[in-house]
Copies of this chain bind each other. A is one copy, B any other.
Amino acid sequence: MTKIDERFYTVPELAGDLGITPRTIRFYEQKGLLNPQRAGTTRVYTRQDRAKLLLILRGKRLGFSLKEIADYLDLYGADPTQAEQIKMLLERVRERISDLEEQRQALDVTLDELREIEHQSVDALKEKGLDPAP
């Protein structure tokens, strides 16, 4: 048993697969988010590395900063039970949710104000006998 699946990836390969640029992957490493092995100078990524990169991209999509993602990943592997990791994740996720809910509120307020301006503009143009092209 434990015949491990030995599929390796290179930077351009991962970049192509995941729709990002090589520069981005190296940038993440520079920021401490990835630590691939090397074959000479060439980076070699395992499937775990790839999974980690996917986690990073997901975090980004969800609006976390690279710093936050890095903090989270630091618990990765340093926590056998993963309980701390999950707790921290939960905390951040809840923070993020509340941020976004706030943003949503603000966005709705802004939308209302913009619609009001739209309305007024249309009225003003009508009074000049012009067509606002709705």
Residues on A close to B: CB < 8 A?
61-63, 81, 83, 86-87, 89-90, 93-94, 96-97, 100-101, 103-104, 107-108, 110-111, 113-115, 117-118, 121-122, 124-125, 128, 130, 132
Q: State whether A63 touches B121 (Cβ < 8 A).
A: no
Q: State whether B93 touches A118 (Cβ < 8 A).
A: yes
Q: State whether A100 touches B111 (Cβ < 8 A).
A: yes
Residues of B within 8 A of A97 (CB): 111, 114-115, 118
Q: State whether A107 touches B110 (Cβ < 8 A).
A: no
Q: State whether A113 touches B81 (Cβ < 8 A).
A: no
Residues of B within 8 A of A107 (CB): 100, 103-104, 107
- How far is it, in angstroms, between the C-alpha of A61 and the C-alpha of B63 when the chains are bound? 21
Q: State whether A111 touches B101 (Cβ < 8 A).
A: yes
Residues of B within 8 A of A128 (CB): 81, 83
Cβ 8 A contact of A118, one of B81, B94, B122: B94
- How far is it, in angstroms, between the C-alpha of A62 and the C-alpha of B132 when the chains are bound? 21
Q: State whether A117 touches B93 (Cβ < 8 A).
A: yes
Nearest neighbor of A88 in chain B, beta-carbon distance = B121
